[in-house]
Chain A
Amino acid sequence: MSWFSKPKRKLVSQKRELPGDVWDRCAGCGEILYSGRLEENLHVCPNCGHHFRIAAEAYEAMLLDGGGLAELHDEHLRSADPLAFVDSRSYAERIEQAEQRGGDQDAIRTGRGEIGGREVHLGTMDFRFIGGSMGSVVGEKIRRLADRSLERRVPLIIISASGGARMQEGILSLMQMGKTAAALEQLASAGIPYVSVLTNPTTGGVTASYAMLGDVILAEPGALIGFAGPRVIKETIRQDLPEGFQTAEFLEEHGMIDRIVPRPEMRGALATLLDHMC
């Protein structure tokens, strides 16, 4: 045994890593943010105003009196697998995994609550659940929520965050666009207000149905909003896309939405709007 075979000591990494539960890096400005502070600020970067994605429940807490829904609706609805769809993984597996990670309410939570003492029906999408994609459960929950709004003559608010229709349910997903539009059309003809709030991202079949059918449409700053995804457009036209294309600001400029409302002002904006329309 020579001197150089001395037992190696395990090297301790000198690189400072960010413990994910305490610090977050802002995707907008790169600033390192203390998670507690970020949460207090409704997941909006205090430095640059970048809006982080937030869970549906956190959005409800932010908007509603008493910090949440008075009643959660249709909590027992679960996605079936009507096509027995399998790609690299089975759809059944994807659902199971999403339920373990993102909760048990599929890609939307729906229920009843109050904003400034006024009863509302609120649907809040959750992007963490298979990209917030719209399948039969999302369509059915929105349908029932709109019908309850009609019955009780209570205004409807939907917060969207979605990549679009859920491919794994094939044509049935596409038809949810027709189903939700039919429910909203009935609500509209009864004179009950529907406010649509678009968050990052809102694309595809969700944009092309209930998200764009609001009597008033609000959006969070910087949110990606469109019909086709930017990658698909780029591949189709083989050109670079203009700066700021398909952002909330772009849509506002082109007359497609009413207002951009930063998250901390959303609750107040909705309360004022409902005062005007109810």
Chain B
Amino acid sequence: MSIEQEGLAELRNHVEELRNKARERGIDVSAELGPLEAELAAAHDEAMARLSRFDRVKLARNQDRPFSFDYIHGIGTDFFELRGDRVFRDDPAIVGGWLRLEGRPVMVIGHQKGREMKENLRRNFGSPHPEGYRKAKRLMRLAEKFGRPVVTFIDTQGAYPGIGAEERGQAEAIARNLAVMAGLRVPIVSCVIGEGGSGGALGIGVADRVLMMENAIYSVISPEGCAAILWRSREHSDKAAEALKLTARDLQDLGVVDQVIPEPRGGAHTDREAAVEAMGAAIRRHLRELAKLEPRDLVASRRDKYYAIGAWEER
């Protein structure tokens, strides 16, 4: 914890204490509390504004942030999980199923991390195998068949680099999903909620709208991996994070992210419910807009969106 954060924690405790005492004794302390709370809020905002990109990486990986299931259960009702790729096995690192959102069924798909070790081992820390991507593909096709929109939640370090994953075609599984999502005839909204780890993230992330939580990250390679290659040491991960420009604001500036969702003061982990609701409101709004488009126009505008991404010169 940084000195700033310690200072903040002290201030927060002081405010909390004051509030409790006041409640116990029935005293009105609003005159004292007001300025203190304002000071606390300002200090918070200032600390957040000063965060380095690598600080954001750490925030994005915080175990107490809302995960896919928190969003799924928080924004809709009647969730019915669907499992398995019908080829090899069920990959618990990617979850999905039907959900009712504002009365309408949608297909939700997301990377799922675990909060404790046992759960994390079962879910492979949210790093999918090819069967995870193939399950996702199956669910997207199902959504298309019944004309339901797709909502995906991105939160992975990356697709798993292992022997079995390579044997079963990790690259093909991801590539196929990109093509399927590019041509899917129903709306797709993708939400980067924590870590957007390279191809493993994009494998469920080609969408009409890409939303991103304020403290989430999205990158072509992890800062650690980039530092190991270009700086020849992981110690330079902070420099790599700066160079990669992987924050939500960076991605919005680069035209990759359509909307950045502000997080509760201090980050999504301090108030999961509020974070989930903020994202939920944005998802509902984008789905309402996308519902107006004909399938053909939807696919064409999605293609145009990706065609426009990149930076080059003609000389």
Which residues of A are in contact with B by a Cβ distance under 8 Å? 76-83, 85-88, 135-137, 139-140, 143, 165-167, 169-179, 181-186, 188-189, 204-205, 207-213, 226-228, 232-233, 236-237, 239, 241-242, 245-246, 254-256
Residues of A within 8 A of B97 (CB): none
Chain A's nearest CB lies how many Å from the CB of B200?
A: 9
Q: CB within 8 A of A179: which of B165, B231, B307?
A: B307
B246 touches A186 (CB 8 A): no
A175 touches B256 (CB 8 A): yes
Residue of B nearest to A77 (CB): B312
Chain A's nearest CB lies how many Å from the CB of B90?
A: 21
Alpha-carbon gap, A28 to B183, bound state (A): 43
A170 touches B310 (CB 8 A): no
Given the interface pairs A83-B244, A174-B198, A254-B168, the reply to whether A140 lies near B310 with Cβ below 8 Å is: yes
B256 touches A227 (CB 8 A): no
User: Considering the complex of A and B, which 4 residue pairs feature the smallest CB-CB distances, nearest first?
Assistant: A228-B161, A136-B310, A181-B178, A82-B311
Alpha-carbon gap, A177 to B309, bound state (A): 11
Query: What are 8 A-B pairs at a CB distance below 8 A?
Result: A77-B314, A79-B312, A82-B311, A87-B231, A137-B310, A175-B309, A208-B175, A208-B178
Chain A's nearest CB lies how many Å from the CB of B284?
A: 25
Given the interface pairs A78-B312, A204-B199, A254-B167, the reply to whether A87 lies near B230 with Cβ below 8 Å is: yes
Asked if B51 CB lies within 8 Å of chain A CBs, one says no
A177 touches B202 (CB 8 A): yes
Given the interface pairs A77-B312, A205-B199, the reply to whether A178 lies near B178 with Cβ below 8 Å is: yes
Asked if B254 CB lies within 8 Å of chain A CBs, one says yes
Residue of A nearest to B159 (CB): A227
Alpha-carbon gap, A198 to B129, bound state (A): 23
Residues of A within 8 A of B314 (CB): 76-78
Residue of A nearest to B225 (CB): A232
A174 touches B199 (CB 8 A): yes
Interface residue count for B (Cβ, 8 Å)?
58
Alpha-carbon gap, A236 to B243, bound state (A): 25
B230 touches A172 (CB 8 A): no
A80 touches B220 (CB 8 A): no
B220 touches A174 (CB 8 A): yes
Asked if B147 CB lies within 8 Å of chain A CBs, one says no
B163 touches A233 (CB 8 A): yes
Q: CB within 8 A of B243: which of A87, A136, A183, A185?
A: A87
Alpha-carbon gap, A158 to B202, bound state (A): 22
Chain A's nearest CB lies how many Å from the CB of B260?
A: 14
Chain B's nearest CB lies how many Å from the CB of A62?
A: 26
Asked if B206 CB lies within 8 Å of chain A CBs, one says yes
| Residues 279-315 of chain B, each 1 if its beta carbon lies under 8 Å from chain A, else 0 | 0000000000000000000000011001101111111
Asked if B229 CB lies within 8 Å of chain A CBs, one says yes
Q: CB within 8 A of A237: which of B163, B174, B199, B307?
A: B163
Q: CB within 8 A of B310: which of A176, A232, A245, A246?
A: A176
B172 touches A179 (CB 8 A): no
Residues of B within 8 A of A210 (CB): 175
Residue of B nearest to A169 (CB): B311
Residues of B within 8 A of A228 (CB): 159, 161, 165-166, 170
Residues of B within 8 A of A184 (CB): 179
Given the interface pairs A175-B306, A178-B306, the reply to whether A80 lies near B179 with Cβ below 8 Å is: no
B161 touches A233 (CB 8 A): yes
Q: CB within 8 A of B219: which of A170, A177, A205?
A: A170
A77 touches B220 (CB 8 A): no
Alpha-carbon gap, A124 to B313, bound state (A): 20
Residue of B nearest to A253 (CB): B167
Alpha-carbon gap, A228 to B245, bound state (A): 23
Residues of B within 8 A of A82 (CB): 254, 311
Chain A's nearest CB lies how many Å from the CB of B216?
A: 12
Asked if B182 CB lies within 8 Å of chain A CBs, one says yes
Asked if B153 CB lies within 8 Å of chain A CBs, one says no
Asked if B226 CB lies within 8 Å of chain A CBs, one says yes
Asked if B21 CB lies within 8 Å of chain A CBs, one says no
Alpha-carbon gap, A136 to B246, bound state (A): 17
Specify which of B161, B171, B181 lies most central, judged by the most chain A CB atoms within 10 Å of its CB. Answer: B171
Residue of B nearest to A175 (CB): B309
Residues of B within 8 A of A241 (CB): 163
Asked if B221 CB lies within 8 Å of chain A CBs, one says yes
Asked if B176 CB lies within 8 Å of chain A CBs, one says yes
Residues of A within 8 A of B36 (CB): none
Among B201-258, those with CB < 8 Å from A are: 202-203, 205-206, 218-221, 225-226, 229-231, 239-240, 243-246, 250-251, 254, 256
B199 touches A208 (CB 8 A): yes
Given the interface pairs A78-B314, A83-B243, A227-B165, the reply to whether A178 lies near B206 with Cβ below 8 Å is: yes
B306 touches A179 (CB 8 A): yes
Specify which of A178, A188, A204, A246 lies most central, judged by the most chain B CB atoms within 10 Å of its CB. Answer: A178
Given the interface pairs A226-B171, A233-B166, the reply to whether A80 lies near B183 with Cβ below 8 Å is: no
Given the interface pairs A185-B183, A213-B176, the reply to whether A167 lies near B311 with Cβ below 8 Å is: no
